[in-house]
Structures are given as C-alpha cells and as structure tokens.
Amino acid sequence: MRTRATAMSADDRRRALVDVTLPLLLEHGRTVTTRQIAEAAGVAEGTIFRVFESKDDLVQATLDRAFDIEPFLEDLRRIDPDQPLRALVTEMVTLLQSRFRGIFTLMTAVGMVGPPKGRSHEHHPREEAARVMADLLAPHADEVRVPVAQLVHVTRLLTFSGSHPHLSDGRILTAEEIVSTVLDGLLTKGD
C-alpha cells in the first residue's frame, strides 16, 4: 500500500522535486520519466503536477537551479582572504572547476549546447563572480605583475578550458597545474 506524501508547502514540494530531479537528469538526461522522479521523491506522479504544469517545467526549474550562480558566489565569499596567494588562487580554481564540471556534465546529459533560455546574454552573474574574485585577490596585488582583474580573467579562462573534457582534449588540468601556469608561467628558470 502506498503511503501519502508528507504534507509540504508548494514551494517546499517544488524544491524537493528539483532536488531529486537533478541526479536523475544526470543519469537519464531528458528521457527521465515523471514516474522515476515520483519514485525518487517518494510521492505519487500526480503530486508533481500539483506544483509543476509539466515535466518540462520541472526540468527547466532543475536546470535553472543548477545554473544559479548564487551558491557558487557564497562559496567564493567563504574563502579566507588572508591565506597566501597560491593557496587562495588554488581554492578559487578548485571551486571554479567544480562548478564548470558540474555544468558541463549536466549540459551533456540533457543535450544542451548553450546555457538555458534567458541566460545566454546574462552578464551580471559572471561580472559578480569576477568582482568577488578580484576583491579576494586585491590584498595580493603587489605580488603579481598584472592587474588583479587580468589575473582573474586569465585564471577563469584557463580553468574553463582546462576543465572542459572536449576543449582539453580529454586531459583535464588539475587545480595545481592551472595555478602553476597562471602564477609561474611555463618558462624554465632563467629564461
């Protein structure tokens, strides 16, 4: 006998359904069924349609959550700005790689070739992330020979391309390789 789903507000139910849908999208892509989602959530299929008009609306809400930059910004803001430059940049790169890899994996799973609708021209979140990183690095400005904004730009570009399985030809760079390249360059000593 099936038990009734725990009573939740509509917002809480939407959040709970999005939570269980993300791993299912990673596993099944867009072929995930509402039955699989309902089973993972421990609810009847009809419960989904009390808070989402369609499976597509649930999938879109899940993609919107995955692409939301706020949790990433919160993680950046938790970085200790008083640590040595190399440790600081390594921590930033590690967070960037985690975000990029998660998004790349999800995009591949659902067959996306670009950001979700409405986000393709959205520059504010990237600018905010760049500003937070620049603020973290500002106390170390005298340790680098380029402006902090340039350090952030190069670090983000190398991390993006070095973390993408296709752009990196399947040779994903480690955070340490990225940081070493950005901070030390590739010349041998004395060149």
**Domain CATH number, residue 31:** 1.10.10.60
* 115 and 68 Cβ atoms separated by less than 8 Å: no
User: Per the domain annotation, does 138 fall within a domain?
Assistant: yes
Which CA distances in Å does 18 have to 38, 47, 124? 11, 13, 24
* DSSP track, 107-160: HHHHT-SSPPTT-TT--HHHHHHHHHHHHHHGGGGGGSSS-HHHHHHHHHHHHH
Same domain, 157 and 176: yes
Which domain, by its residues, includes 177? Answer: 68-184
Q: Other C-beta atoms within 10 Å of 127: how many? A: 10
Domain-located, residue 132: yes
User: For residues 161 and 167, what is the distance between their CA atoms, to the nearest angstrom?
Assistant: 6
Q: Are 19 and 80 in the same domain?
A: no
Separation of alpha carbons 81 and 76, rounded Å: 10
| 137-164: b (≥16 Cβ within 10 Å) or e | beebeeeeeeebeebbeebbebbbebbb
Q: Are residues 58 and 78 in the same domain?
A: no
Q: Are residues 40 and 74 in the same domain?
A: no
pLDDT by position in tens, the chain (length 191)? 455 667 889 999 999 999 999 999 999 999 999 999 999 999 999 999 999 999 999 999 999 999 999 999 999 999 999 999 999 999 999 999 999 999 999 999 999 987 766 654 455 778 999 999 999 999 999 999 999 999 999 999 999 999 998 888 889 999 999 999 999 997 777 65
